[in-house]
C-alpha cells in the first residue's frame, strides 16, 4: 500500500485553503493545467478561495482546462440541481476560465455509451488530468462510483444507491425529484490522473475515511482503490481525521 500525503486542517474552511494552495502551485507551474473537478458541499470552501485568489491576482485561470467527474442523468445543463449549473454558480462564472475549456458529462445524451467514450477522448486529447479533486460519499463513492463487486474502468452510467439518493435529497424539493441514475468518470479514469487531491470534512465522514485509507482495498469501498495511486494528497479537517 502507498500511503497518502495527509494534511489535517482545523476546520473545513482551512481545508479549502490548503487545497487552494495545491491548485495555485500547479497552475503557476502549468498555466494550461487540466483540473478534474467535483461537486458536493465539500469543495465549496475551496472554490470560494480559488475565486478570491484569482481576484487577488494569485491565480490565472484563463488557460486552465477542467473536466468534471459526473452529472445526473436526465437533468439539463441549466437545471437548478445539475452539476453543470453547480459549477457555473460556484466557480466558473466567477473566474476567467473559458467556457469551451470546461467539460461536464451530459446527462441528456441519447446514446450514453457514445457520450461516455467521447468524454474519455476529450480528456485524453487534453493530455489527461493533472490533478483530480475528489470528495467522499458516505458509502465510499468517488464521483458516482457506488459500491460494487468490481472497480468500473471508464466513464459510464450508474444507478445511484439508496444511501446516495438519501444524502443528496437535501438539494431537491423532495426525494422523488432526485435522479436515480448518473453518468460518472470511472475508477480507471480517476486513477489515470497524475495527481489526486481528496478533501474529506465533517465527523460524519470519519468512519468511511478510515475504511478508505486504513482498510482493505475493496470495490465495496470504491475510494479504497486510491491506496494504489502513487500521488494522493488527503486534506481533511480534525473532525473527519480518524485518529487523535
Binding site for ligand GLP (CB under 6 A): 38-42, 69-70, 135, 137, 143-144, 164, 168
CB atoms within 10 A of CB 237: 23
Q: Which residue has the cell 478508505?
A: 212
Query: Edge to edge, what strands does the sheet with 5-9 contain?
Result: 5-9, 232-237, 195-200, 131-134, 34-37, 65-68, 102-103
Residue from 130, 141, 229, 237 carrying the catalytic annotation: 141
CB of 112 to ligand GLP, least distance (A): 17
Q: Which residue, among 82, 11, 150, has the nearest Cα to 19 in the 3D structure?
A: 11
Residue from 49, 54, 70, 115 carrying the catalytic annotation: 70
Query: Phi then psi for 44, rounded to 5 degrees?
Result: -60, -45
Residue from 54, 146, 229, 237 carrying the catalytic annotation: 146
Question: Active site includes 60?
Answer: no
d(CA 197, CA 175): 30
Question: Active site includes 70?
Answer: yes
Name the residue nearer to ligand GLP (CB basis): 63 or 109. Answer: 109
Name the residue nearer to ligand GLP (CB basis): 38 or 50. Answer: 38
Contact call for residues 68 and 87 (beta carbons, < 8 A) = yes
Question: Active site includes 139?
Answer: yes
CA 106 to chain centre: 16
Name the residue nearer to ligand GLP (CB basis): 105 or 137. Answer: 137
Name the residue nearer to ligand GLP (CB basis): 40 or 152. Answer: 40
Residue from 115, 139, 156, 237 carrying the catalytic annotation: 139
CB of 118 to ligand GLP, least distance (A): 21
- Within the chain, residue ranges assigned H as helices are 12-29, 44-55, 83-90, 112-125, 162-168, 187-191, 206-214
DSSP-derived 3-state class of residue 47? helix
Name the residue nearer to ligand GLP (CB basis): 45 or 192. Answer: 45
Q: Which residue has the cell 461536464?
A: 104
CB of 137 to ligand GLP, least distance (A): 4
CB of 200 to ligand GLP, least distance (A): 9
Which positions are annotated as active-site residues? 70, 139, 141, 146
Amino acid at each position: 500500500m502507498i500511503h497518502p500525503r495527509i494534511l489535517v486542517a482545523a476546520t473545513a474552511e482551512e481545508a479549502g485553503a490548503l487545497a487552494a494552495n495545491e491548485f495555485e502551485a500547479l497552475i503557476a507551474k502549468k498555466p494550461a493545467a487540466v483540473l478534474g473537478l467535483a461537486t458536493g458541499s465539500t469543495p465549496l470552501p475551496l472554490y470560494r478561495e480559488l475565486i478570491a485568489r484569482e481576484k487577488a491576482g494569485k491565480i490565472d485561470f484563463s488557460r486552465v482546462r477542467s473536466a468534471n467527474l459526473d452529472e445526473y442523468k436526465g437533468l439539463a445543463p441549466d437545471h437548478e440541481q445539475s452539476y453543470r449549473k453547480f459549477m457555473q454558480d460556484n466557480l466558473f462564472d466567477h473566474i476567467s476560465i473559458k467556457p469551451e475549456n470546461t467539460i461536464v458529462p451530459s446527462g441528456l445524451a441519447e446514446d450514453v455509451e457514445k457520450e461516455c467514450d467521447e468524454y474519455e477522448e476529450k480528456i485524453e486529447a487534453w493530455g489527461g488530468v493533472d490533478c483530480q479533486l475528489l470528495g467522499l460519499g458516505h458509502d465510499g463513492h468517488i464521483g458516482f462510483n457506488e459500491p460494487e463487486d468490481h472497480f468500473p474502468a471508464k466513464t459510464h452510467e450508474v444507478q445511484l444507491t439508496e444511501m446516495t439518493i438519501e444524502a443528496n435529497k437535501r438539494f431537491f424539493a423532495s426525494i422523488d425529484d432526485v435522479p436515480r441514475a448518473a453518468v460518472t468518470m470511472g475508477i480507471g479514469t480517476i486513477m489515470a490522473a497524475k495527481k489526486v487531491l481528496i478533501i474529506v470534512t465533517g465527523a460524519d465522514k470519519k468512519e468511511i475515511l478510515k475504511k478508505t485509507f486504513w482498510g482493505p482495498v475493496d470495490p465495496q469501498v470504491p475510494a479504497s482503490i486510491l491506496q494504489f495511486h502513487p500521488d494522493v494528497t488527503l486534506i481533511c479537517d480534525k473532525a473527519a481525521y480518524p485518529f487523535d
